[in-house]
């Protein structure tokens, strides 16, 4: 069932100083992720600043990523929208580009009912033949996809196969997995909850941390899968201060700063996002140094 197992990177979209997509930097980042052991690339998600990409840029970034990866690992495209027709359009274009699956965030701002969420996700999934990962992040969207709705979708729609669980509520995740009885894969959407989700039967993580530490994040998952739970937990816990620094401001502000520190790209964000505050950046730099990344 799984599109991938392990650590998928929610990859940034690098921009030039002028604000255009920096494709040479993007290629370098993709290659570093693959050589570093990342198990999948999730392009044009929240971390990729999809909400401020034009539709043409969005599709071009997806196409570029697929062409750069060349089938070496799965590529999953963020194609969600608060407009069902737009989500259908982006998903169909992503399928044409050759992705291995799509990630659909719940409609934001509209605050659809559970019936509305069901209808939305079913309509998008039915418009393509790709595997679909639902993205449950009520802190950004203002609405929770309830476990019963997720299970209903998994039972009724063949290509809805997984969920990115980013509620931050382990009880919510446990309830979902109890109700689903293995009918849907669950990926942690929070880097500080990788091991807890794996312990409930999760398939991995869709990770911000992987941008700066792809091998490390892969190893958290792989150690768990290999039965070395103690090592997996230690890796998880040792990374908590860095993870906290990576979320000290709204994602992807800190990870963009971190990738700039590592020399991968300019520290350019699209408004309304603005560069990281100096005090937070100093903490982030210190934590990266402690982890041996700088």
Q: Read off the pLDDT of residues 201-222 as tens digits, 9 standing for 90 and up.
A: 999 999 999 999 999 999 999 9
**Domain residue ranges of the chain, discontinuous segments joined by +:** 6-227
Pick the catalytic residue: 70, 111, 135, 256?
135
Please give the model's pTM, rounded to 2 decimal places.
0.97
Query: Is residue 2 scored above 90 in pLDDT?
Result: no
At residue 148 the predicted structure's pLDDT band, cuts being 50, 70 and 90, is very high
Q: Read off the pLDDT of residues 165-188 as tens digits, 9 standing for 90 and up.
A: 999 999 999 999 999 999 999 999
CATH, domain 6-227, list 3.30.70.1170, 3.40.50.1000, 3.40.50.720, 3.20.20.70: 3.20.20.70
Average pLDDT estimate for 272-286? 97
pLDDT for 285: 98
Q: Which letter does DSSP use for residue 46 in this model?
A: T
What token pair was written down for 96?
């044409």
| Percent of the chain residues past pLDDT 90, beyond the cut | 99
| Spatial separation of the C-alpha atoms in residues 73 and 32, rounded to whole Å | 13
| Spatial separation of the C-alpha atoms in residues 45 and 58, rounded to whole Å | 10
CA-closest candidate to residue 172, choices 141, 133, 200: 200
pLDDT for 1: 56
Average pLDDT estimate for 65-86? 98
Tell me the angle at which helices 214-225 and 23-36 cross, rounded to the nearest 10 degrees. Answer: 30
Residues 6+ away with beta carbon under 8 Å from 208: 10, 47, 191, 246, 247, 251, 252, 255
Q: Read off the pLDDT of residues 250-260 as tens digits, 9 standing for 90 and up.
A: 999 999 999 99
pLDDT for 104: 98
Question: Is residue 122 flagged as an active site residue?
Answer: no
Pick the catalytic residue: 28, 111, 118, 164?
164
Question: Is residue 187 flagged as an active site residue?
Answer: no
């Amino acid at each position: 069932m799984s599109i991938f197992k392990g650590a998928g990177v929610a990859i940034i979209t690098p921009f030039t100083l002028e604000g255009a997509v920096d494709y040479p930097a993007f290629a370098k980042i993709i290659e570093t992720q693959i050589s570093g052991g990342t198990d999948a690339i999730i392009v044009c998600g929240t971390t990729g600043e999809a909400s401020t990409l034009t539709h043409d840029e969005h599709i071009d970034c997806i196409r570029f990523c697929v062409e750069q990866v060349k089938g070496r690992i799965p590529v999953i495209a963020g194609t969600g929208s608060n407009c069902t027709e737009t989500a259908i359009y982006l998903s169909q274009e992503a399928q044409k580009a050759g992705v291995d699956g799509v990630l659909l965030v719940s409609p934001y701002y509209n605050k659809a009912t559970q019936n509305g969420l069901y209808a939305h996700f079913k309509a998008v999934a039915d418009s393509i033949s790709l595997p679909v990962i639902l993205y449950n992040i009520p802190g950004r969207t203002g609405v929770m996809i309830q476990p019963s709705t997720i299970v209903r979708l998994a039972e009724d729609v063949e290509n809805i196969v997984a969920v990115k669980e980013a509620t931050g509520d382990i009880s919510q995740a446990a309830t979902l997995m109890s109700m689903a009885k293995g009918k849907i894969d669950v990926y942690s959407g929070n880097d500080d909850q990788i091991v807890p989700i794996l312990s409930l039967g999760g398939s991995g993580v869709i990770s911000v941390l992987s941008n700066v530490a792809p091998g490390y994040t892969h190893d958290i998952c792989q150690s768990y899968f290999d039965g070395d739970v103690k090592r997996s937990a230690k890796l998880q816990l040792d990374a908590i201060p860095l993870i906290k620094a990576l979320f000290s401001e709204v994602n992807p502000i800190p990870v963009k700063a971190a990738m700039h520190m590592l020399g991968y790209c300019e520290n350019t964000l699209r408004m309304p996002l603005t560069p990281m505050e100096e005090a937070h950046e100093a903490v982030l730099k210190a934590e990266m140094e402690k982890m041996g990344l700088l």
